[in-house]
Amino acid sequence: MNLETYAENTWCKGCGNFGLLNSFKDAVSELVEEGALRAENMVISSGIGCHGKTVDYLNLNSFYSLHGRAISCVSGMKIANPNLTVVAFQGDGDAFGEGIAHVVFSAKRNIDATLLVHDNSVYGLTTGQFTPTSEKGFKGKSTPRGSIEEPMNPLALVLASGGTFVARGFVGKRKHLVGLFKKALLHKGFSFVNVLQPCVTFNNTYSRYRESTYILEDEGHDATDFQAAWGKARETERIPIGLLYQVERPTFNDLLLEGLVPAEPRAPPLSAISEIISER
Ligand code: SF4
């Protein structure tokens, strides 16, 4: 299926955002072809940052949210209409700086939504400030002598908050990333994929990730074992990518609404919609 839009792409040449965007397009197209997903039932949202333009580049229902609020926006949509498939795109500063409380509570509540984080460990749009996931010693516009803070661990954060699908991908491993996105979109509950996607202009980490990442699925990791996932989330020398943890538990909608669709009584009858279309 064609998910292209007419919007001109303004990302820097070689930006890791391209790998994430194209992997998501492949994942959605494959799921639609397999009959597992309906594109017209999808709503995507993004926050503020270079990643935010993702919604301009995908021909899906979309909503540009405030800084750090994409996951809370799609959470509201999902509560109003549980029949939707909702996806939030956020940057690492957006998700773990401005919007960290929304990430924690989405995981705690097990909102049936997917959160894909474009993690390049830098604020690229504002030209190179450090973010919550920047390495200690990172030199940028706001830390010219090097950051004195230890980086945040997004995987441990979401595991500790109650996430039921916790994964990490790397844009340099495209086929693997497509597979992760497909699993995340099909998971019932809060799906979190932290995507390593280098910013070639302000924090080019391609060679480090190429040298240090390894695929969990190749090493027989048990994704139902919380303690094993916790151990993998805390590895730093080698960087595991893949599905760390996946379990099932009731979603927020299951517990709150028990099958009710609040949007339904407000929706106009189909005849009214047909009338509007025929008038045009
Ligand atoms: S500044 Fe960095 S994140 Fe932004 S488009 Fe350029 S390479 Fe990508």
Q: What is the DSSP string of 174-211?
A: HHHHHHHHHHHHH-SS-EEEEEE--BTTTB--HHHHHH
Report whether 109 contacts 252 (CB < 8 A): yes
Instruction: Give every CB contact of residue 221 below 8 A, 6+ residues apart in sequence.
Output: 228, 232, 240, 242, 243, 244
Give burial (CB, 10 Å; 0-12/13-18/19+) of 100. Answer: middle
Cα separation, 134 vs 22, in Å, equals 25
Verdict on whether the full-model pTM lies above 0.75: yes
Cα separation, 163 vs 158, in Å, equals 5
The closest-lying atom of ligand 1 relative to the alpha carbon of residue 14 is 7
The closest-lying atom of ligand 1 relative to the alpha carbon of residue 127 is 1
Supply the pLDDT for residue 63.
95
What element of type H or E holds 232?
Answer: helix 226-233
Supply the pLDDT for residue 99.
95
Instruction: Give every CB contact of residue 70 below 8 A, 6+ residues apart in sequence.
Output: 45, 46, 47, 88, 89, 90, 94, 99, 115
Q: Among 115, 254, 250, which Cα is nearest to 191's? A: 115
94 DSSP β-pair partners = none
CA of 265 to the centre of ligand 1 (A): 43
Supply the pLDDT for residue 257.
85
CA of 139 to the centre of ligand 1 (A): 17
Supply the pLDDT for residue 52.
96
Report whether 19 contacts 174 (CB < 8 A): yes
Q: pLDDT means per 10 residues in the chain (280 residues)?
A: 94 97 98 97 96 96 95 96 96 96 98 98 94 95 95 98 98 98 98 98 96 96 98 96 98 89 80 79
The protein residue whose alpha carbon is closest to atom 2 in ligand 1 is 199
Other Cβ atoms within 10 Å of 266 Cβ, number: 9
Structure token pair of residue 180: 């992760």
CA 69, 62, 258: angle at the middle one, nearest 5?
A: 70
CA of 108 to the centre of ligand 1 (A): 31
Ligand 1 binding residues, C-beta < 6 A: 11-12, 15, 17, 50, 120, 124-125, 199-202
Query: CA-CA distances (angstroms) from residue 95 to 140, 219, 245, 253?
Result: 20, 30, 20, 23
CA of 239 to the centre of ligand 1 (A): 22
Structure token pair of residue 269: 């009858």
Report whether 232 contacts 240 (CB < 8 A): yes
Q: Among 122, 128, 94, which Cα is nearest to 197's? A: 122
